[in-house]
Amino acid sequence: MASTAHASRRPLGSLNIIFCDDDHLLGINRDFLQHDYYTDIITFDLSPSSKAPLEAELYISVERVKENAASLGQPFYRELHRVIFHGLLHLLGYKDKQKKDQALMRQMEEKLLGEYFGL
């Protein structure tokens, strides 16, 4: 992940990954983003500026990742890594609200998964 951040000209300072359950992540989603729905990941960029090394937290619902993996027919470990890479890509400026952005995000996730797992 550090090499991905470095290649994007955003050196990695620290990346904390906090694993939690659906209810905890739903509370974060409501409190900080005013969204009232379950999600697999919420990403917080805590860096003092866009020029500073990346300091961030990824909150991941293990329950949601397990359900997503099952529904997608993927092993848990692969879906977990996809979600982690998804959070990192958000930190590096990738978006996923529009269809074209979603396609690029998925392409980058697959690229990182392939590199990570040597596929």
pLDDT tens, 46-73? Answer: 999 988 999 999 999 999 999 999 999 9
Instruction: Give every strand in the sheet of 41-45, ordered side by side.
Output: 12-20, 54-61, 41-45
Query: Can you tell me the distance from the alpha carbon of 43 to that of 32, in angstroms, rounded to the nearest whole number?
Result: 11
pTM: 0.90
> pLDDT by residue (tens digit) across 73-86?
999 999 999 999 99
Residue 49: CATH number of its domain: 3.40.390.30
Residue 94, SS3 per DSSP:
coil
Neighbours of 5 (CB within 10 A): 19
Q: How many CB atoms lie within 10 A of CB 64?
A: 20
Number of domains comprising the chain: 1
Sign of CA dihedral 42, 78, 15, 102: negative
Average pLDDT over residues 31-40: 96
Residue 7's domain spans which residues?
2-117
Neighbours of 59 (CB within 10 A): 21
Angle at 86 between CA 107 and CA 48, to 5 degrees: 125
Q: In degrees, to the nearest 5, what angle opens at C-alpha 99 toward C-alphas 97 and 102?
A: 65
Beta strands in 31-72 (DSSP E): 41-45, 54-61
